[in-house]
Chains A and B, each alone.
Chain A
Amino acid sequence: MLIDRNGATSEAWNRVSGADAATVTRPLVPFAEIDAALAALSDGAELGIEVPNTIRLAALEPHLVRVALVSIVFPAFSDGRGFSLGRQLREYGYAGRLRAAGPLITDQFPYALACGFDEVDLPEASAARQPPELWVAALGVMSNTYQRGYQSGGNILDQRRAARRNFAGGRP
């Protein structure tokens, strides 16, 4: 099941080997097979890659300009490496789609979005226990966060700063 901030969404990508990339629209290929995929695809064709959470940003950087989806594998919900990798990709300037693929739990959904992910690709067993409405509800639980620079709505430090500015500006 694919989840984004609005709930369940339909899968637009097709998982294939790199060599078969041209046989489908929007192929999603293992990162190790990206060269074969690029060789098969025409220049403008969209390409998605699936990467392990152990990969270093530097290894991805040269390819990001050609990629429209990066799917980072979370081998277990307790393995938080993907959050840092996602965040690094966004800091680097990657502007394509970012997916977390693995057995996440709904409580992690706000964290994933804050780190720059757009969507979560859940295995069926997790999806059966955690329907889409739980994922959407998880986003409304904490209205504010303390960290600056993450993609979350209510950043407390910046809200305090804005309040200070308004207060100062409102003085006679």
Chain B
Amino acid sequence: MYRYDEFDERFVRERVKQFRGQVERRLSGALSDDEFRPLRLKNGVYLQLHAYMLRIAVPYGTLNSRQLRQLALIGERYDRGYGHFTTRQNLQFNWPKLKDVPDILDLLADVEMHCIQTSGNCIRNVTADHFAGIAADEVEDPRPTSELIRQWSSLHPEFSYLPRKFKIAVTGAAHDRAAVAAHDIGIRILKHPQTGEVGYRIFVGGGLGRTPMIAKTVRDFLPKADLLAYLEAIMRVYNLEGRRDNKYKARVKILVHEMGLEPFREAVEAEFAKLDGPSVNADPAEAARIAAYFAPPAYETLPASDASYEAARAASPDFARWADVNLFPHKVPGYAALTISLKPIGGVPGDATSEQMRVVADLAERYSFDELRVTHRQNLVLPHVKLSDLHAVWQALVAAGLATANDGLITDIIACPGLDYCALATARSIPIAQSISQRFGSYERQREIGPLEIKISGCINACGHHHVGHIGILGLEKSGQESYQVTLGGDASEDAALGVLLGPGIKGEEVPDAIERIVAVYLRERVPGERFVDAVKRLGLGPFKPALTGAPTRELADAH
């Protein structure tokens, strides 16, 4: 993984000192509160419901053990012994004091981490496929590109006061695990159909929130060397033309929509043509320097199967059940990537205690070339584990309460912090996730249902990605009560789709029954091998509508 050189190191150190100074200037009155707010946001500091919140960047979701141990330490020393992994591959602490934040930032800088641009109207922490470098369907590891973008976007002089936040995601694989279509800019690494040259397809104008939109292709093929100049052209058009009169219409998706895709593309291409590419782009040697950090680790040459792994599976049904669900095939024979679920049955999605972080750090160091990943589904991944080590890893995870076998299943629920923590929320998210998780906790039942992504947001801003959940749940306020809208058919993959509202809002305590009835309709109607989301796409909402509120469909639930 990437390591800081002297420049990167000095950059984060000076940035911490700068933030210390900003707090001091706010106290002295040199900065007004209105002026200070965006500065603290650009260092990841929010004021939430009960306390400040600090959002730490995990660039493209890659961490090493030393970094995770430092996060554990910060959680204990400055927080309440736990952190929350987010849908943007970041980590949030819920209880830091503003006066401690500069010290926390120093501790982060000690391990080559920061909170730069994890909030605010700027280019946010770049995200990528959490199986980067592992997946067999990958054209190229997306992380060198992501790291180049991380550096280029950091404290950009021209693009630090944008109309609104700006999110970039990168995937290098055919199967989209980075939800690039749901980002302001999505980048797909691909081979040119004629020449075979590796380059980028650039999507613009995706996003969730109040007005969800799927991104559109603005450039079919961009040579790799032109990336930064092209991004600068897009950003400049957005910075100059994006709406600033209404924050709900300020995202680039609205600009693309209002201008029209073709005029937007023409504006970008015209700006790109005027830019002096060679003076803006990274030279190939710099790209190569970054890429070298992501060279594959020193894998052993192993057979594709392992006798001890098979024996452990045979001996331990629990291990086999976990391995059936939480493993991802590694492109290198004899290895697997494994998902560490942060979704224990009835637990808080994405939360990990400092003790758990240390357990995972130790496992990463010992068994996975000192590397781990954070997924946008709020889980962790050990990317390179030998098949022969899987049983030992699993045993350690069991002891730490981290071996829930539910990756991609109905209890692997994405949920934003909601009104339990967030000042913007209109309703709670976490208790809804917990009640669904408890209802569907049975492993056998989850396997019978198969892949099903439930995503819950506690407000219209959609941090819980409810629009692209197979089942999406949105918490709102209705007549002084929490109320939940259910959507079906959303999809965050390369077949990106927005969910469709099933009916009027229901009460929180009614949600598990409603989900149960919806699932019952699916089990009744599906054809063999058909996933939930595919059944919804085939059937439409019709058969599911009565399930939302319906006492009449009680017998369906009983049937299963």
Q: Do A and B contact each other directly (Cβ–Cβ < 8 Å)?
A: yes
Is A105 an interface residue when CB atoms closer than 8 A count as contact? yes
Docked-complex contact A160 and B279, CB < 8 angstroms: no
Among B17, B22, B156, max chain A CB count under 10 A is at B156
Contacts of A100-153 to chain B: CB distance below 8 A: 105-108, 110-112, 114-115, 129-130, 134, 141-150, 152
**A33-70 Cβ-contact flags toward B at 8 Å (1 or 0):** 00000000000000000000000100000000000000
Min C-beta distance of A158 to chain B, whole Å: 9
Which A residues lie within 8 Å of B156 (CB)? 146-147
Given A91-B275, A105-B31, A148-B280: A114 in contact with B157 (beta carbons within 8 A): yes
Is A7 an interface residue when CB atoms closer than 8 A count as contact? no
**A6-45 Cβ-contact flags toward B at 8 Å (1 or 0):** 0000000000000000000000000000000000000000
Which B residues lie within 8 Å of A150 (CB)? 157-158
Docked-complex contact A143 and B14, CB < 8 angstroms: yes
Chain-A contact segment, one of B78-86, B236-244, B455-463: B236-244
Docked-complex contact B38 and A78, CB < 8 angstroms: yes
Docked-complex contact A130 and B30, CB < 8 angstroms: yes
The residue from A81, A111, A143, A145 contacting B239, defined by CB atoms under 8 A apart: A81
Min C-beta distance of B121 to chain A, whole Å: 7
Which A residues lie within 8 Å of B283 (CB)? 157, 161
The residue from B30, B32, B152, B289 contacting A160, defined by CB atoms under 8 A apart: B289
Which B residues lie within 8 Å of A95 (CB)? none
Is A94 an interface residue when CB atoms closer than 8 A count as contact? no
Is B175 an interface residue when CB atoms closer than 8 A count as contact? no
The CA of A110 and the CA of B39, in the complex, are separated in Å by 15
Given A148-B282, A161-B286: A115 in contact with B158 (beta carbons within 8 A): yes
Which B residues lie within 8 Å of A87 (CB)? 158, 236
**B31-57 Cβ-contact flags toward A at 8 Å (1 or 0):** 110010011000000000000000000
Given A129-B30, A160-B289: A142 in contact with B161 (beta carbons within 8 A): no
User: Which chain A residue shows the least CB distance to B239?
Assistant: A84
The residue from B8, B14, B240, B274 contacting A81, defined by CB atoms under 8 A apart: B240
The CA of A132 and the CA of B7, in the complex, are separated in Å by 29
Min C-beta distance of B285 to chain A, whole Å: 6
Docked-complex contact A80 and B31, CB < 8 angstroms: no
- How many B residues touch the partner, as a band? 35 or more
Docked-complex contact B11 and A156, CB < 8 angstroms: yes
Docked-complex contact B35 and A105, CB < 8 angstroms: yes
Docked-complex contact B158 and A142, CB < 8 angstroms: no
Contacts of B489-527 to chain A: CB distance below 8 A: none
Given A129-B30, A159-B7, A160-B286: A80 in contact with B151 (beta carbons within 8 A): no
**B121-161 Cβ-contact flags toward A at 8 Å (1 or 0):** 10000000000000000000000000000011011111111
Which A residues lie within 8 Å of B11 (CB)? 142, 144, 146, 156
Is B437 an interface residue when CB atoms closer than 8 A count as contact? no
The CA of A159 and the CA of B8, in the complex, are separated in Å by 12
Docked-complex contact A146 and B157, CB < 8 angstroms: no
Docked-complex contact B157 and A110, CB < 8 angstroms: yes
Given A91-B275, A149-B280: A157 in contact with B162 (beta carbons within 8 A): no
The residue from B7, B161, B236 contacting A79, defined by CB atoms under 8 A apart: B161
Which A residues lie within 8 Å of B161 (CB)? 77-80, 83, 108
Which A residues lie within 8 Å of B279 (CB)? 148-149
The residue from A134, A141, A145, A159 contacting B157, defined by CB atoms under 8 A apart: A145
Is B100 an interface residue when CB atoms closer than 8 A count as contact? no
Which B residues lie within 8 Å of A81 (CB)? 239-240, 244
Docked-complex contact B10 and A144, CB < 8 angstroms: yes
Which A residues lie within 8 Å of B15 (CB)? 142
Given A149-B276, A161-B285: A107 in contact with B10 (beta carbons within 8 A): no
Docked-complex contact A107 and B158, CB < 8 angstroms: no
Docked-complex contact B239 and A146, CB < 8 angstroms: no
Which B residues lie within 8 Å of A164 (CB)? 285, 289
Docked-complex contact A129 and B32, CB < 8 angstroms: yes
Which B residues lie within 8 Å of A157 (CB)? 151, 282-283, 286
The residue from B7, B35, B236 contacting A84, defined by CB atoms under 8 A apart: B236
The residue from A84, A130, A159, A161 contacting B158, defined by CB atoms under 8 A apart: A84
The CA of A36 and the CA of B156, in the complex, are separated in Å by 38
Is A98 an interface residue when CB atoms closer than 8 A count as contact? no
Which A residues lie within 8 Å of B31 (CB)? 105, 129
Is B18 an interface residue when CB atoms closer than 8 A count as contact? yes
User: Which chain A residue shows the least CB distance to B153?
Assistant: A146
Given A83-B239, A84-B236: A141 in contact with B14 (beta carbons within 8 A): yes
Is B29 an interface residue when CB atoms closer than 8 A count as contact? yes
What would 5 A/B residue contacts be, using CB atoms closer than 8 Å?
A78-B161, A91-B274, A108-B160, A145-B157, A148-B280
10 closest cross-chain pairs (CB), A and B: A80-B161, A114-B157, A111-B157, A149-B279, A156-B7, A146-B151, A149-B280, A84-B239, A83-B158, A141-B18
13 more contacts with CB within 8 A, not counting A111-B157, A141-B17, A144-B11, are: A77-B161, A80-B158, A108-B160, A112-B157, A114-B157, A129-B31, A142-B14, A142-B15, A143-B10, A147-B152, A149-B280, A156-B11, A164-B289
